[in-house]
């Protein structure tokens, strides 16, 4: 979904949103899987968390919450992607807010998933937490610790592969990662 499409939808409802976090939240709530403008996601408190967790290697960092329906729909795909990325030297980290860490671990166990999950120690601000109620956020971080691509919304293997490709210095489109 493009910015123009979002603006058109907003105009139909008679509202305008100028703040990037609110625009992003609306787009994600509408179910879009969008290549979010780097300025929109890089301005969220999740960005420094993603860079820190990359630990100097190409990485895809996914922030999510167990109460988010889009996040829950993405989890099996994220787990499939972890195995693919490991073969290609891309680290995958998943992060949940500290307050829901135990709930996240229990939910993964009930679903038979074994994703590695890290609890964020209260570094996420209120606007980021609001977005995470509706959508996972994914960051591609290169080995220099720079965010090179971002995604929000439903995360499938192809989207995650594109992020991994960007983290390795390629374009964030379909990648050449092995399956």
- Cβ neighbour number for residue 143 with a 10 Å cutoff: 15
- Strand, helix or coil for residue 107: helix
Question: 53-93: per-residue pLDDT in tens?
Answer: 777 789 999 999 999 999 999 999 999 999 999 888 899 99
Question: CA-CA distance, 93 to 115, in Å (whole number)?
Answer: 9
pLDDT score recorded for residue 177 = 42
> Do 1 and 34 form a contact (C-beta atoms < 8 A)?
yes
User: What is this structure's pTM?
Assistant: 0.73
- Give 34's strand partners: 152
- Strand, helix or coil for residue 148: strand
In terms of Cα–Cα distance, which of 139, 114, 111, 131 is closest to 50? 139
Low-confidence ranges of the chain (pLDDT < 50): 1, 13, 30-39, 175-179
pLDDT score recorded for residue 5 = 60
């Amino acid at each position: 979904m493009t910015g123009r499409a979002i603006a058109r939808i907003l105009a139909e409802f008679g509202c305008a949103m100028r703040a990037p976090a609110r625009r992003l939240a609306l787009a994600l709530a509408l179910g879009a899987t969008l290549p979010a403008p780097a300025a929109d996601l890089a301005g969220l408190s999740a960005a420094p968390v993603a860079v820190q967790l990359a630990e100097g290697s190409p990485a895809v960092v996914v922030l999510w919450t167990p109460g988010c329906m889009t996040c829950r729909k993405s989890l099996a795909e994220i787990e499939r992607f972890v195995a693919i990325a490991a073969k290609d030297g891309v680290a995958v980290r998943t992060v949940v807010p500290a307050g829901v860490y135990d709930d996240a671990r229990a939910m993964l166990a009930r679903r038979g998933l074994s994703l590695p999950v890290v609890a964020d120690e209260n570094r996420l601000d209120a606007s980021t937490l609001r977005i995470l109620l509706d959508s996972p956020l994914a960051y591609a971080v290169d080995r220099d610790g720079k965010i090179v691509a971002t995604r929000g919304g439903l995360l499938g293997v192809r989207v995650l592969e594109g992020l991994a490709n960007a983290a390795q210095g390629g374009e964030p489109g379909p990648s050449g990662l092995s399956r």
